[in-house]
Structure 1
Amino acid sequence: MAPPRPISELATIIERNARSLEDGLKGTAEADFSVAFGAELQAHMSPSLEAARSELLETVDELRVRVAGPLGYLIPTLLAAPTLLGVFSTLYMFDIASHVPLSEGGEISYRDLASRCGIPEDETRRLVQAAIAFHVFEEAKPNVSVKHNALSSALAATQIKEIAGFLVEEQALSFGKLAESMRRYPGSGEPGHAAAVLAAREQIAIKQTGVNEEDVPDPSKTYFEYMADDPERVARFRSIMGFTTKIAGFKATYFIDSVPWADKSQCPETIADVGGAGGELCQQILRRFPNIKKATILDLPEVIADVKAPEDLEGRLGFLSYNFFAQKVTHQADAYIFRHIFHDWSDKYCAKILRNLVPALKKGTRIWISDTNVPDLSEGSHMKDQFTRSMDMFMMSGFNAKERNREGWEGMLAGADERFSIVSIVSPKGGQDSVIEVVFDA
């Protein structure tokens, strides 16, 4: 295998081919490579220009992978795959593209679009904004209204709509059965053993039994409760939570660098990490801030069952069994941390978590939230928008929950108790999470 080319060489190849395309298409409708509403859906090029475009796209792809690095490319790709499936299947099912005006400058408010599609306004806005992050649709007015671009208008065309339907309604189910097909029928070669057939048979069985028409017996039972009965899944989840403190964008250092605890006068003596799993965040906090005498993890018994404090933190790091829905907090601390907790829950459940915390709070107690503060969509940060909106779709799909912007955080806190108020929101450069400082009864 040839050694990798320097990334500066890749950039030169990209520039050379971009100039070839611009020069070759000068004076034509395709020259500006626009994806605005009304733009040509497919550029017509000579063989030489098609070769330049192909090399350009291949080189852009290579450059992106190498500059992002293994995790910087892999994690967003894994997250985007189910996000795009969910977004496009919902766009197809509710025919959202057809409800947006197909005219130059035509726009529709998220409220009216939601009414036409028969789905809640908040979910409509979040879904369409996720699509916008991946270049489908454009916002006319931030958080208020949406309009078509060339990509989204194509989804309103019958043939493209049918292609989308075939891929998201049939092929997506097939790929979900691919591993099962390979496990059950290795090397079979029989068409009836294909993943698509397994998926079709399952769908027929579901329709025949009517199981998909039954109401969920207990809608308050969460994904986490279903997971709790499987030790292997619990262990995997705990591992994931620990790993997120180490990957770029989610490193615990973004939180640690953003709190003012290096100043002894502002450093709490005791902290409690609610839902802190194996204590990875608190371990780093304790090593950074020696003035913190004790950190306590409050989490479900099955999550902390086999966890022990490292030798260097014995006596400073402890674990207590706690269910933030079923129990009031009795453990006293100077500050409470919630990292990646509230985005797992809808507002009404977040309110319950916080109300169960209130009995332990004193006037002026600080609550530190490490979670996403969703910014408005930006033309200059599509890749970050893609990650943030993918996370929001993941929360919607997995938990009926959400990522929140400042207005969403303020509304959620006020709905729990009017005595909660936001002191500051710090969004570290390079980090995915913000640090939200909340004070109680100030």
Structure 2
Amino acid sequence: MVLTSRIVELSATIHEQTTKVDAFLAANNLPTPSFDISCPPKLSLPPDIQASREAVLEATDELTALMLGPVESLIPPPNSWISVTALQRFKIANSFPPGESRTFAEIAKACSIPESDCRRLLRHAMAFYIFSEPSPGVVAHTASSKALAEIPPVGSFIGFVAEEMLPASTRLVDAMQKWPSSEESNETGFALTYATDIPMMQVISADSRRAQQMGNAMSFLHSRPGENVQYLVENFPWGDTGLLVDVGGAKGTVGMAIARYAPKIEVVVQDKPEVIKGTEVPEDLQGRLQLIGHDFFTEQPVKGADIYLIRNVLHDWSDKYAAKILGNLIPALKKGARVLVNDRCLPPPGALSPYKSRQPRASDLYMKGIQNAKERDSADWTQLFESVDPRFKNLEVISPQGSFLSMISVTWEG
């Protein structure tokens, strides 16, 4: 019996699943994937076809690593961040309209950079299918450069990563050596990069340009399908909950969605006064939703609520400070109240392929580099709540298929 090699298995998977995707696109008159500017930046695919797409990406990733071999796959591959950062910083994608072309000299003049640098940066980007050179010295848009030109939040995200997260990550190991086991948000790779003893959040907040860029970048991240609030709204057993407090709920988008889904729930949205300032309560939620100023590092002022929701907050903090945020809820908790954390829950080791686990594991290290923060798995969440108070009981994790975020729920039995 002849055993099929792993590389042949992977190539067969790629062929089989690509054929399924291609047949779906053809049957629905959708464009085949292309870097032509006529191709839409993203296609909405049904779950089964999305699964086929993911299978292709996963198999391709493993096949590439196997073909490179142990040594070449150990060395980081060429990275597009150098040129992508330049495209965003110098507004190169916006220097001429998609559908038109320009020479390197014309682009350089429009972007106020030397022509030789412009040429080098663009040809590096072209190696990643960003822009093309249809004839010598002439530059045209591809679908990727068009997306950068026409979808501003993409540029904000690139700018935030390039300016804040990547530089911090290059000094992460230095910070770990300088401040072993530190949980302080000002003892980080970011602190070393920018020679500051002020935490990243405060540094960026003091700079209006960087603050706006970070805000737009976070909006872009939270707009991804995997962070859709409907996963939370439709998969948590709200029951006849009376009062819900959304701690750190920004301008109330999540609280409003919950209130509309569960009409028996009253919602209080809390965030710093400068965050909620100017936010209006929609007419259909008058009397059922209110916004109040509150810093979650101080004692919770709303007593006796049924659920205290903390969404996309605790992964921004080390265990020391996450414990303080949770501890500040305790004086307000009544017996049977639930604390609901809507945040990433890392899968157990080996549960995902290297390809699928790479992004959440990278996010974990990025968070440490900028804030000494962390992503947590179910054991980490259990340990965190137990460290705050053993009267937090019955921890349950709900992870809806397709969602980037899980629901980590505990009951207060004090």
Aligned partners of 2:44 and 2:192: how far apart in 1?
39
- Where do 1:38-437 residues align within 5 Å? 70-71=41-42, 135=62, 151=68, 153-155=70-72, 161=75, 164=76, 167=78, 172-173=81-82, 175-180=84-89, 182=92, 185-186=108-109, 190-191=115-116, 216-218=195-197, 221-223=199-201, 225-230=202-207, 247-261=224-238, 263-264=239-240, 267=241, 269-292=242-265, 294-325=266-297, 327-332=298-303, 333-376=305-348, 384-437=356-409
Q: Distance in 2 between matches of 1:363 and 1:301?
A: 29
Contact 1:374/1:388 (8 A) holds in 2? yes
Residue 86 of structure 2 aligns to which amino acid in structure 1? K
Tell me how far apart the structure 2 counterparts of residues 236 and 416 of structure 1 sit (CA, whole Å).
Answer: 34
Q: CA deviation at 1:152?
A: 6.3
CA RMSD, 1 decimal: 4.7
For residues 319 and 304 of structure 1, the distance between their equivalents in structure 2, rounded to whole angstroms, comes to 7
Q: Per-residue CA shift, 1:49-84, capped at 9, x if unaligned?
A: xxx9x999997997899799955799xxxxxxxxxx
Letter in 2 for 1:222: M
- Measured after TM superposition, the shift of residue 369 of structure 1 is 0.9
The alpha-carbon distance between structure 1 residues 57 and 155, as it changes in their structure 2 partners (threshold 3 A), is: farther
The 3-state SS of whatever aligns with 1:401 is coil
- Matched residue type, 2:7: F
SS at match of 1:421: strand
Q: Give unpaired runs (5+ residues) of structure 2.
A: 34-39, 46-57, 96-106, 122-166, 168-189
Query: Is the 8 Å Cα contact of residues 191 and 200 (structure 2) preserved in structure 1?
Result: no
Change beyond 3 A, Cα 1:335–1:172 = closer
The answer to whether the Cα contact below 8 Å between 1:304 and 1:321 also exists between their aligned partners in 2 is: yes
1:233 offset after TM fit, Å? Answer: 5.5
Kindly state the Cα deviation for residue 339 of structure 1 after the two structures are TM-superposed.
0.8
Q: Per-residue deviation at 1:410?
A: 1.2
Letter of the 1:345 partner, please give it.
Answer: W
The verdict on how the C-alpha distance between 1:64 and 1:35 changes in structure 2, with shifts beyond 3 A counting, is same
1:172 deviates by 4.5
Provide the rounded CA distance (Å) in 1 between the counterparts of 2:318 and 2:329. Answer: 17
Q: Deviations over 1:179-230 (max 9, x none)?
A: 445589436664366677xxxxxx9xxxxxxx997884425x233x233335
Q: Normalization by structure 2: what TM-score?
A: 0.59
What does the per-residue CA deviation read over 1:83-142, in whole Å, with 9 as the maximum and x for residues that have no partner? xxxxxxxxxxxxxxxxxxxxxxxxxxxxxxxxxxxxxxxxxxxxxxxx9996499xxxxx
Task: Tell me how far 1:415 sits from its aligned partner.
Answer: 2.6
Change (3 A) 1:185 1:70: closer
The two structures have a TM-score, normalised by structure 1, of 0.55
Q: 1:391 to 1:429 in 2, by over 3 A?
A: same
Separation in structure 1 between the aligned mates of residue 23 and residue 359 of structure 2, nearest angstrom? 19
Give, in angstroms, the shift of residue 151 of structure 1.
4.8
Question: What is the Cα deviation at residue 406 of structure 1?
Answer: 0.7
Change (3 A) 1:212 1:274: closer
Larger Rg: 1
Per the alignment, residue 21 of structure 1 pairs with: none
Secondary structure at 1:439 match in 2 = strand
Question: Is this contact kept in 2: 1:242–1:280, CA < 8 A?
Answer: no
SS at match of 2:263: coil
Distance of 2:325 and 2:108 partners within structure 1: 47
Please give the secondary structure, in 2, of the residue aligned with 1:295: strand
- The separation in 1 between residues aligned to 2:338 and 2:410, in whole angstroms, is 6
Aligned-partner residue type, residue 289 of structure 1: A
CA distance in 1, matches of 2:250, 2:6: 51
Q: Secondary structure at the match of 1:249?
A: helix
| Letter of the structure 1 residue corresponding to residue 300 of structure 2 | V
Give how far 1:241 is off: 5.7
- Counterpart CA distance in 1 for 2:219 and 2:341 is 17
Residues in 1 aligned to 2:380 and 2:59: alpha-carbon distance in whole angstroms? 20
Q: CA deviation at 1:321?
A: 1.6
Residue 309 of structure 1: how far off its partner (Å):
1.1
Report the number of matched residues: 308
Shift in Å, 1:273: 0.6
Report if the CA contact (8 A) 2:334-2:412 is conserved.
Answer: yes
CA deviations on 1:275-331 (whole Å, 9 max, x unpaired) are 111111111111111211x31111122221221111111222211222223x22222
> Cα 1:273–1:57, aligned 2, differ >3 Å: closer, same or farther?
closer
* Alpha-carbon contact 1:273-1:297 (below 8 Å) kept: yes
